[in-house]
Every structure is written in structure tokens, then in C-alpha cells.
A and B are shown apart, each in its own frame.
Chain A
Amino acid sequence: DVKVTQSSRYLVKRTGEKVFLECVQDMDHENMFWYRQDPGLGLRLIYFSYDVKMKEKGDIPEGYSVSREKKERFSLILESASTNQTSMYLCASSSLTGGYYGYTFGSGTRLTVV
């Protein structure tokens, strides 16, 4: 069964800490995405990557960075965590199939910054 795996289900971090969220997919997908989901705001795209070492900013990249050193792994980095980054973080991957892209989501990481 194909999977997108996020390393942590729940995380609690302190303000100012550097936080790493890891995402691994086993589907050989080219594209990987990081979203955050907040009540009333829906899913908002933080960053995405379309190839190893390639990345593009999404709609809300401030305070975040990403790393994609290998095709299967896409990491989201909070350089200095703040309380307004408390959220559910969702990783997804996609590939072009039949002319269209489909997403597979990971199970999510609920991050609390205190």
C-alpha cells in the first residue's frame, strides 16, 4: 500500500526552538507539498517541491523553510517556532497520472508551540 509518512503525529515545542517536520513517500512522486490547516482558514500551502533540491514558495512561506535532498523526503523547518505556528501540518505528494495530478496526504502532525 502506497504511503506518505509523517514522522510525528503530535509535537510540543517551545517558542524559539528550531523544529523539523519530516515527510517520506514511497510512491516515487515528483511533487511534494506542505500545508497547514487551521479552523476557518482551510488548507494553506506553505512550500512545495517539484524535484530534488527544487522548491517554490506557497501562499504563506514566512517563518518556514524546506529541504529536499532526496526524492522521497521533504522536510519542513520552522527556524524559530512561534505560538502562531501552532497548527496541523499536512504533507502531500503527487504525480502526473493520465494527464492529471492526484494528491496523497500523510496523516498529519499536530504541532503545539508553547
Chain B
Amino acid sequence: QKEVEQNSGPLSVPEGAIASLNCTYSDRVSQSFFWYRQYSGKSPELIMSIYSNGDKEDGRFTAQLNKASQYVSLLIRDSQPSDSATYLCAVNMSPGGTSYGKLTFGQGTILTVHP
């Protein structure tokens, strides 16, 4: 079983719709969760981080965390063609002094927003 799993997609949504990206993780003690956006040929850039159960909103982006279900999601409201990218879920699987912030990444979900 993969440690961090994402549906690879591609996920296609029309412009203006809500895009929903999902991620599950295997390690119950994981404490910090991140969403990165990666455009083709570019390096990942951080768009959201979440550490507590519930929702966290930043502009058009909302991250949702449910530690009991080991599930984290990213919602993109009013999707734009410029949101078309690969979205990577990342988890700090072993929090504490020995992990040194090491992140485990999912395979990424390709999102396409069509006009």
C-alpha cells in the first residue's frame, strides 16, 4: 500500500466549477499536510498547508483535513484555465525531532480546467 495516495486523474472541470482533489495517507501519527501545485516543466510550489482537523481557506482554495479518516482534500472554487496543473499532496509522515521535516508525496493529480 502506498503511503500517500492520490487519484492520478486526469480530472477535467469546466471553467467556473469547483475542482475537488483528494488524498489519503497511511500513517496515523502524521501531523502536517501540504498541497503543492506544479506546472509542466516547473518545480512544485506550495499553495496550502493544514495541520488541524477541519477546513482552512485561502482565497479560492480550501484544504480539508480529517485525521480520523486519514484523508485530506483540496477544493478549488471558480476554477480557471490557469489552475490547470498537477497537484501534489505531501505529508510529514513521522513528525518530531527525527523526521527533519521529511515529506512523502503522492503521485499527483492532473487537473485540466477547460474554457
Contact = CB atoms under 8 A, between A and B. Distances in A.
Contact of A101 (B32, B45, B107): B32
Contacts of B51: 100
B88 A103 contact: no
Contacts of B34: 102-103
A40 B43 contact: no
Interface in A53-81: 56, 58
A107 B100 contact: no
Nearest to A97: B101
A42 B106 contact: yes
Q: Chain B contact residues: over half helix, strand or loop, or mixed?
A: loop
A41 B107 contact: yes
Contacts of B103: 101, 103
A43 B49 contact: no
B25 interface: no
A44 to B, nearest CB: 8
B94 to A, nearest CB: 12
B92 interface: yes
A43 B88 contact: yes
A105 B42 CA distance: 10
A76 B32 CA distance: 27
B102 A48 contact: yes
Residue with the highest number of chain B CB atoms closer than 10 Å, among A30, A50, A90: A50
A45 interface: yes
Given A42-B88, A102-B49, A103-B34, A50 B100 contact: yes
Residue with the highest number of chain A CB atoms closer than 10 Å, among B46, B49, B90, B103: B103
Interface of B: 8, 31-32, 34, 42-46, 49, 51, 88, 90, 92, 100-108
Given A103-B103, A108-B43, 5 more contacts: A35-B105, A43-B105, A94-B101, A101-B103, A103-B101
